[in-house]
Structure 1
Amino acid sequence: MDLHEIHTPVLLERCVELLAPAIGHEGATVVDATEGMGGHSVALLERFPHLHLVGLDRDTDALRIAGERLARFGDRVTLVHTVYDGIAAAVASTGRRRVDGILFDLGVSSLQLDETSRGFAYAHDAELDMRMDQTGGVTAADVLATYGEGDLRRIFERYGEERLAGRYARAIVDARRTAPIERSGRLVEILVAATPAAVQRERSGHPAKRVFQALRIEVNGELAALERALPAALDLLRVGGRIVVLSYQSLEDRLVKRAFAQASSSTAPAGLPVELPEHAPRFRLLVKGAELASDSERAVNPRATPVRLRAAERMKDAA
């Protein structure tokens, strides 16, 4: 991929603004837990000359591109091939116990969407791979070939919030009796054919959108990894450290909202007349609810349209 074609990161300035109070000092460390092609990392390293960055990604292509972009920063950068739930081990491998800032930019990356041969996009015919880490694991084609109708329905309902999940699961099982479903184009044809005309007229999105999302989440274990990653990340932050998370669909955002709510809540038993210091919240929320991209950013960067930003700061260590 031409480095000049790399997309502008979503909510770049807001992420830098929120992390700045925690990472501007000498010896600070920030973790980009979803390195991608390094857009957020470049901005952080340029603006904070004493910052060390630990970048994580499961996608070896992304790490290669990020490595090229970040090479000019020399030993200020450590890149680690891992899923983000490996954040604690990745940080420990650098000899650090705590960090000052953490950024998660969740979901499928621009690289993965734009590399049409990887099968993430329903708009392009390609092999149904959808693995973020192509060094191993099952593909979307494997899921479609081996899951029973009930399991397909379950993942479409749970990970795609698809109300036609049962109908689509049944259509897929019927179609694969004729021939394996190995390409995105054939899957799209099956889903469109199984969608009632009235539903197609009333829906704002493509009939395949939610099924493709569900398959991607299942193939990559994204929600399970995020559930493990969030508490691990919060535990890694020093007092005064900050975490920023960008989510692009409601399932991710709910997990982030819940983790932040728990971390920013008192642990005091109900009914105590005063809150003792040991029960005070460990974190405070930095934004009210979830922040959205501005209209102007959405206009120039359509991938910012669904984003939800949440951020928190560590106020004290665990008791």
Structure 2
Amino acid sequence: MSDYHVPVMLHEAVEYLNIKKGGIYLDGTLGGGGHSEEILRRLDGTGRLYGIDRDKDALSYASARLKAYNNFIPIHGNFRDIDILLPNDVMLSGAVIDLGVSSHQLDTPERGFSYHEEAPLDMRMDRSGGITAEEWLNTASKDEIANTIYKYSDERWAKRIAEKIVEIRQESPLKTTTDLVRAVDMAIPKAVRRNIQGHPAKRTFQAVRIKINEELDMLPKAIENIVDRLQIGGRLCIITFHSIEDRLVKRTINYLRNPCSCPSNAPICTCGKKPKIKTVFSGVKTPSQGELAQNPRSSSAKLRAVERI
């Protein structure tokens, strides 16, 4: 099989999981199955791995790739719903979540994630339901669009981009990725566009994708749900790809490390909230120079790892 998706920081993530041969593991963002396969290779017949993905294409591909492993259980869904998707009695030895968009999704024009190809404005990870980017961009208010673009990408031209989107759709609805790119190009001054690092529409596409898939709204609770399913000593590795996402993950980890809500001058803790995790290492790990050379898309990746206590 050709590569569906090149897993980022594969060896680092799996090493920090500290795999036990008979353990129970979760890949919450199955994708092409790269992280899953590396985990499965380290398990014996008593261990098992659950792989969750909301993209049915990814689920189908990974299931075929991993069909030789009888201890692999694929599940269609969102890892934030782990309490519904996994049996109640399952406690995990470890879990990994890779919050990036897969190479396959980016490189499949009809998915609508890429600003390099003309395609329908879809952007849904799970195409079996939910609103498309086209539907949202053509119905949301100017303020909602502006706030969304700024909130999820820090795009300084968010207000002007939203104004241009609304102006264009009054003449004709936005239908394709090219329509959205054109709106961004018309909104950002030419002199500014020349000095932007990367594609001018990159931030806007990121923000719309996050909105359509509700990627960040439930992330803190999703992380806590996974932590609650970890056995003592079980580990969670999280790979992020942009600063907004990483800040949210960092805040969530800090809260789970120190959830105490007592006043800072209180002599003793009376709230009863106890730490659930500790960090495996301080700060973040980033891709090696070798990985960056082989997979430039990994350049913004950051890995964090925590352990249940």
* 1:37 alignment counterpart: 32
The verdict on how the C-alpha distance between 1:201 and 1:53 changes in structure 2, with shifts beyond 3 A counting, is same
**Unpaired stretches in structure 1, ≥5 consecutive residues:** none
- Residue correspondences, number: 306
Which consecutive aligned stretches of 4+ in structure 1 deviate over 4 angstroms post-superposition?
A: 268-276
Cα distance in 2 between the residues matched to 1:204 and 1:190: 18
The verdict on how the C-alpha distance between 1:160 and 1:35 changes in structure 2, with shifts beyond 3 A counting, is same
* 1:139 alignment counterpart: 132
Cα distance in 2 between the residues matched to 1:279 and 1:186: 50
1:149-177 deviation line (CA, Å, top 9, x unaligned):
11110101101211000100011111111
Identity of aligned residues (%): 38
Larger relative helix fraction: 1
Displacement of 1:275 in angstroms is 8.4
**TM-score, normalising length: structure 2:** 0.94
* 2:193 alignment counterpart: 200
The correspondence for 1:67, drawn from 47, 63, 70, is: 63
**TM-score, normalising length: structure 1:** 0.91
The verdict on how the C-alpha distance between 1:266 and 1:159 changes in structure 2, with shifts beyond 3 A counting, is closer
The correspondence for 2:74, drawn from 76, 79, 93, is: 79
SS in 2 for 1:49: coil
Cα distance in 2 between the residues matched to 1:15 and 1:66: 18
Cα distance in 2 between the residues matched to 1:38 and 1:99: 19
The correspondence for 2:108, drawn from 112, 115, 119, is: 115
* 1:251 alignment counterpart: 244
SS in 1 for 2:86: helix
**Unpaired stretches in structure 2, ≥5 consecutive residues:** none
* 1:238 alignment counterpart: 231
The verdict on how the C-alpha distance between 1:187 and 1:29 changes in structure 2, with shifts beyond 3 A counting, is same
Contact 1:268/1:280, CA 8 A, preserved across alignment: no
Matching of residue 183 in structure 1 with residue 186 in structure 2: no
* 1:24 alignment counterpart: 20
Cα distance in 2 between the residues matched to 1:274 and 1:138: 49
Matching of residue 125 in structure 1 with residue 96 in structure 2: no
Cα distance in 1 between the residues matched to 2:141 and 2:266: 52
SS in 2 for 1:254: helix
Matching of residue 308 in structure 1 with residue 298 in structure 2: no
Contact 2:55/2:76, CA 8 A, preserved across alignment: yes
**Counterpart amino acid of residue 253 in structure 1:** D
Give the CA RMSD over aligned residues. 1.9
Contact 1:83/1:225, CA 8 A, preserved across alignment: no
**Counterpart amino acid of residue 9 in structure 1:** P
* 1:283 alignment counterpart: 277
Displacement of 1:231 in angstroms is 0.9
